[in-house]
Amino acid sequence: MADLLKLQCYLGRLSAAANHRGTRLAQILLCVSGSLMAGSRPSSLPKSFDGVWESRGYGYVLSIKGSLLSEFEVTSTTCVAGFTAQRQSTSPDKWDANFKSKEEGSFFIRGQEGADHAVLHLQDSVPDIQLDRLTRIPAVCNEPTENTPMGNFNVFAQTWAENYIGFDLRHADWNKIIAENRPGINSRTSSAQLFDIFESIIEPLGDLHTYVVAPALKRSTPNFWRSGTSNLVKGKPENLADRGRWKLFAITNRTDLQHSPMMFCRRQLQYGHINNSIGYIRILSFGGYSRRDDLRALEAAMDKIFSDSQLKALVIDVRLSFGGSDELGIAIASRLTDREYLAYTVQARLDPLKRDEWTEGDPIMVRPSARPGFRGPVVELISSITMSGAETFSQALMGRIPHVTRIGENTQGVFCDVLDRHLPNGWTFGLPNAVYRTANGKHLMWRVFLRILTSLYLLKAI
């Protein structure tokens, strides 16, 4: 298993680019201020949220008219039309409105005390986003940011400047970087040249949660690994994802497990035994568990796993986990505790200029599940490229009692969800804009988990 600790992989690329948005910003503004689109649900839907709403942090402006929602991605100097969504006839419990977009999936809104504040929640995400009512669309949106090389460059540069959380940690002088690249942008700059410039700007940051996708060029940026880890995956990460890691699993299955593990959740969750009393859970990803309802599939799998009457100690292996939904990580953690505790607190960048100002913390709790679970000793195996949703899952175990023993190497350090953004030319790009803080207020981005040097075989004394 020592060899397995040295080999990791990443789950392919971030999601493919959305289709080119042909709708101009002015057209959308005209649409939301006039009559509803054909096929919209009637205005008699419960609890109206009509009006303009601005998020605290995140750079969202939402314009809602009846059952039509239009989203704008705003900085202090730019505005780009994002997605549109349609209100659904039903909403989950505790939410007043459910909107669905072909590009962005589902998201939910709940009113707060008074008529000028609300809460937005994105599907498969854990934090809530606070919304405040505006009297009108921001002035910066009165004129759409132009689809020119400089217009696209300005949106890219300003969005990063106002939202990215890693400049100081990565010792990057963003103002200097932009100043050095701006002279290379003019009306004759080709799309390919612009893409090259964007890629050259963000590659040195070594942040896997950053990307640029240009559909018309059929190009996307490669995976930007943290310094010192890119040489651990030979060839394309997809090759290790599809074939290489299963060869590694076969070694572990043969040398450390009594039998080949049982498969759950479309093989993304596996369970076996190290000996008669020590169980072993391997988590390949935190998603892709079913075609329709990942949480339901996960709950059914955990019901089966934690009904094991012989289970006295548990190893959870996320060394080759590809991340995914934070909500699913919280769901697993809830099966491992009999007391409520803080998983982490999420804060997004708030001020366009001050990098140390954050939104009010949104505490994410682990609450004991009433369904079958395990409360005994747990050891977690991590690797140098355990990342994203696998890292937030690891963080969600830090407050557990009895404490989880962590074995392995420093993780990749990409905890935050990706803030996806659009350019006027139809390209998409993404960056992390929030931190996940521990109970003592520290955030783990880039500092990652400290190495714990020990041996899996110590478990066999349990």
pLDDT per residue over 428-449, tens digit each? 999 999 999 988 887 765 444 4
**Does residue 298 form part of some domain?**
yes
Same domain, yes or no: 215 and 249: no
Same domain, yes or no: 318 and 178: no
Domains: count for the chain: 3
Vertex 205, ends 201 and 211: CA angle to 5°? Answer: 65
User: Is the model's pLDDT at 135 over the cut of 70?
Assistant: yes
**Does residue 20 form part of some domain?**
no
User: Is the model's pLDDT at 460 over the cut of 50?
Assistant: no
pLDDT of residue 228: 65
Same domain, yes or no: 266 and 385: yes
pLDDT per residue over 48-90, tens digit each? 999 999 999 999 999 999 999 999 999 999 999 999 999 999 9
Q: Which CATH number characterizes residue 424's domain?
A: 3.90.226.10
pLDDT of residue 14: 31
pLDDT per residue over 333-366, tens digit each? 999 999 999 999 999 999 988 988 999 999 999 9
pTM, entire model: 0.82
Q: Positive or negative CA dihedral for 20, 26, 27, 28?
A: positive
On whether the CB atoms of residues 406 and 449 are closer than 8 A, the answer is yes
Same domain, yes or no: 192 and 252: no
**Does residue 225 form part of some domain?**
no
Report, as an integer, the average pLDDT of 179-195: 97
**Does residue 35 form part of some domain?**
yes
**Does residue 19 form part of some domain?**
no
User: Is the model's pLDDT at 452 over the cut of 90?
Assistant: no
46 or 209: which carries more pLDDT confidence?
209
Same domain, yes or no: 409 and 354: yes
How far, in Å, CA of 390 to CA of 400, rounded? 16
pLDDT per residue over 256-272, tens digit each? 999 999 999 999 999 99
Q: Which CATH number characterizes residue 64's domain?
A: 2.40.128.50
Report, as an integer, the average pLDDT of 183-187: 96
Cis status of the peptide bond prior to 261, with omega within 30 of 0: no
Strands 418-422 and 51-55: unpaired
Same domain, yes or no: 321 and 377: yes
Same domain, yes or no: 360 and 448: yes
pLDDT of residue 236: 64
Same domain, yes or no: 318 and 210: no
How far, in Å, CA of 62 to CA of 82, rounded? 10
**Does residue 286 form part of some domain?**
yes
What residues does 436 pair with on adjacent strands?
A: 346
pLDDT of residue 229: 67
Same domain, yes or no: 137 and 187: no
Give the residue numbers spanning the domain of 357.
2-14+234-461
Same domain, yes or no: 44 and 185: no
Select from 220, 246, 279 the last residue of a domain: 220
Same domain, yes or no: 198 and 238: no
Select from 163, 193, 220 the last residue of a domain: 220
User: Is the model's pLDDT at 237 over the cut of 70?
Assistant: no
Same domain, yes or no: 198 and 82: no
Q: Report how far apart the first and last C-alpha atoms of the chain are (Å, whole number).
A: 19
**Does residue 228 form part of some domain?**
no
**Does residue 229 form part of some domain?**
no
Label each residue of the chain as H, E or C: CHHHHCCCCCCCCCCCCCCCCCCCHHHHHHHHHCCCCCCCCCCCCCCCCCEEEEECCCCEEEEEECCEEEEEEECCCCEEEEEEEEECCCCCCCCCEEEEECCCEEEEEEECCCCCEEEEEECCCCCEEEEEEECCCCHHHCCCCCCCHHHHHHHHHHHHHHHCCCCCCCCCCHHHHHHHHHHHCCCCCCHHHHHHHHHHHHHHHCCCCCEEEEHHHCEECCCCCCCCCHHHCCCCHHHHHHHHHHHHHHHHHHHHCCCCCEEECCCCEEEEECCCCEEEEEECCECCCCCCCHHHHHHHHHHHHCCCCCCCEEEEECCCCCCECHHHHHHHHHHHCCCCEEEEEEEEECCCCCCCCECCCEEEEECCCCCCCCCCCEEEEECCCCCCHHHHHHHHCCCCCCCCEEEECCCCCCCCCEEEEECCCCCEEEEECEEEECCCCCECCCCCCCCCCCCHHHHHHC
Select from 117, 141, 165 the last residue of a domain: 141
Report, as an integer, the average pLDDT of 27-45: 39
How far, in Å, CA of 149 to CA of 93, rounded? 45
On whether the CB atoms of residues 140 and 76 are closer than 8 A, the answer is yes
pLDDT of residue 454: 37
245 or 250: which carries more pLDDT confidence?
250
Mean pLDDT over the full length of the chain? 85
